[in-house]
Amino acid sequence: MGKIHFIILLMSVIAFSSCKSKRLVNKATKFDDAGLYMDAAQLYYQSLAANQNNIDAKLGLQRTGQLVYEDKIKLFKTQYTNGNTKDAVYAYLDADKYFNKVSVLGIKLIGQEEQLTYFEEVKDKYLGELYQSARQALSLEEFAQSESQFNEILSIDANYKDAKSQWIVSKYEPIYRRANKLYNTQLFRSSYFDFDIINKGTKGYKNSIELQQAALDNARLTIAILPMQMRSRSYQTNATKCIQSVFNGIQSISSPFYQVIDSKSIQTIKDWDQIKDANMAIQLAKKWGHRFEAKSILQTDMTRLSKRQSRLSKVEKKGYLKKTIEVTNASTNQKEKKVVYEKVRYYEYKQTSSLLMEVNYSLTRIDKDELGVSNTFSANLSDEIHYAKFDGDFKKLVPGYWKSASTDSDDDKIYDDESSIAKLHSLFKNKQTLKSTYDLEKEAYANCATQITDDLINYKPEN
């Protein structure tokens, strides 16, 4: 079935292109008859591009395209004769571009090869003048001008002398100097990005590859993550899971500037594994800084954690099942439809879950006396389910109240209005699965990791 649809679609596209090509060739013919061969050539080209089997478009473009090409060559001759080297070069390039453009569609124009010699002559003269001007601008460190001129040379002749290497110097030398200046003023991240531009564009300019790596080594924020402290030992499992989520979040940062140091490297410091207090850990890290691979310590403290999940409550509700029955009118003996309400029971279910969590965290720099990040994460998450079940078609249920299932009472109520019915029926469509406290915990851990990770990313050591 799919293959048939594809064939039909393909035939439709072909038919549309054919019709478009015919419309364009008819319009081109009118311009051609009026002597407007430039406009005609453009339309013949569009027609042939839409349908390369259109013979009228091919013959029309062969004739009018030749006239357009000869006009372009004539302009080249005029510019050459008048000594306008630049204009002559670009006039010939425009004619050559047009020649190649129509040849893609199978149109073979009659070229004027004798003009190629004149073009090479004027091209060499123009590029020679432009090359000397570009070299002079480069010697004066006018990089923008020299880059533009070498770029123009390469657009005309990609292999002209050493224009390619000179263009590289013009474009990347100012960036290289700026990157070195940033590096020497300890703006390592900015320096890294400049060297990255150079290396992506050149695969190495001077010693830019080595300098980029040096900038990265200095810019990278290496982080030692301490075990999460807690106000209550009952939080221990939660704290372990939360700090693991934070660890994963930092590891996932798509930037070369962040690295979590392996715990084994940290534990090479004397007495490290005996430390219980985060502040003592920082002091020890500063003391043994030459043996401490991390530039910073991330410490966290779970100061609050409470969670609650209620029991699922089930409450019986009374209502009516609305039915339409057929009865016989006693007076007219005619069949009539009558609405009746059957007393029924259905059940409503409710349950809630909630979680409160608070984590204080800070990033302390070991390599400099600086508190990089200090903040508090707070989570107040909850979920609720409220739904109904009925052993039958709930779409026929009508809300109400009744005292007795077998006898009617003046206290019985039927709320057969659109709003009341819609409110009741919505309960049967509500979700029936509650987010457990375990689910809320996972959400809180992820949110905590996201906030801490975002704070680390927003921490700009160079500012």
Answer for the pair 354, 381: CB distance below 8 angstroms, yes or no: yes
User: For the chain, which residues make up each domain, given as ranges?
Assistant: 19-112, 129-219, 308-365+373-436
pLDDT at position 100, please? 95
Model confidence at 272, pLDDT cuts 50, 70, 90, reads: low
Q: Which residues lie across from 460 on neighbouring strands?
A: none
**pLDDT per residue as tens digits for the range 72-109:** 999 999 999 999 999 999 999 999 999 999 999 999 99
If one counts every other C-beta atom within 10 angstroms of the C-beta of residue 246, the result is 27
**pLDDT per residue as tens digits for the range 158-205:** 999 999 999 999 999 999 999 999 999 999 999 999 999 999 999 999
Average pLDDT of the residues in 212-228: 92
Parallel/antiparallel/unpaired status of strands 258-260 and 296-309: unpaired
Pick from 280-289, 296-305, 368-377: least confident: 280-289
List C-alpha distances in Å: 295 to 183, 266, 449. Answer: 18, 11, 20
pLDDT at position 417, please? 96
pLDDT at position 165, please? 97
pLDDT at position 12, please? 43
On average, the pLDDT of the chain sits at: 90
Average pLDDT of the residues in 375-392: 98
**pLDDT per residue as tens digits for the range 102-152:** 999 999 999 888 899 999 999 999 999 999 999 999 999 999 999 999 999
